[in-house]
Structure 1
Amino acid sequence: MFAAATRKKFHPGKEAYMRAIIMGLSLFMALAAGNAAQAQQNDLVKYCQADIQRLCPAVQPGGGRIMKCLKAHTKEMSVGCAQALQKMKG
């Protein structure tokens, strides 16, 4: 008698709809985070390209070598590049 009063109503369409919303929001959040990181990387290229050519001309890209070179030359880099690096640090 009491079991019927406490039973939840099952709505299969509603559950699937909520799952789809959660998946969509998760995807959106992942893409938004990726876009923010991409924007910071674009700023780094934009503001540091001349500094990289001037301060690190022989450094091969990859493995963090350019970032390491830039960090070794922080006192010599342009203000724009220094600010872009600061944004990357968070």
Structure 2
Amino acid sequence: MTTLHVIAHSPFGDDRLASCLRLLSADDALLLCGDAVYALRSGSEPHQLLQAAGLAQRLFALAEDVQARAVDNGLAKAVDYAAFVELSLHFDKVNTWL
């Protein structure tokens, strides 16, 4: 069963990003939104975790949040809200890391 994991909290406040990355299967994807897009800051520990995870075409970030936080995103595919909905329909389930 494939899962779209959604994280909206800052990666600097707790370890939910690291926990999520440990649980991702080869067919799962990760969407960063809200303050979670700070994980895309080059050189940060969360950025290194994302690079090491080898998510390739399975890492997404909500474009509006990337732009609002002025994060230079070279790692994740930026998506708008319509694409977010499409992603949620593509996977068997959606798991939001609250």
Q: TM-score, normalised by structure 2?
A: 0.24
Flag the structure with higher helix content: 1
Flag the structure with higher strand content: 2
- Structure with bigger gyration radius: 1
Greater RCO between the two (CA within 8 Å, min separation 6)? 2
Q: TM-score, normalised by structure 1?
A: 0.25
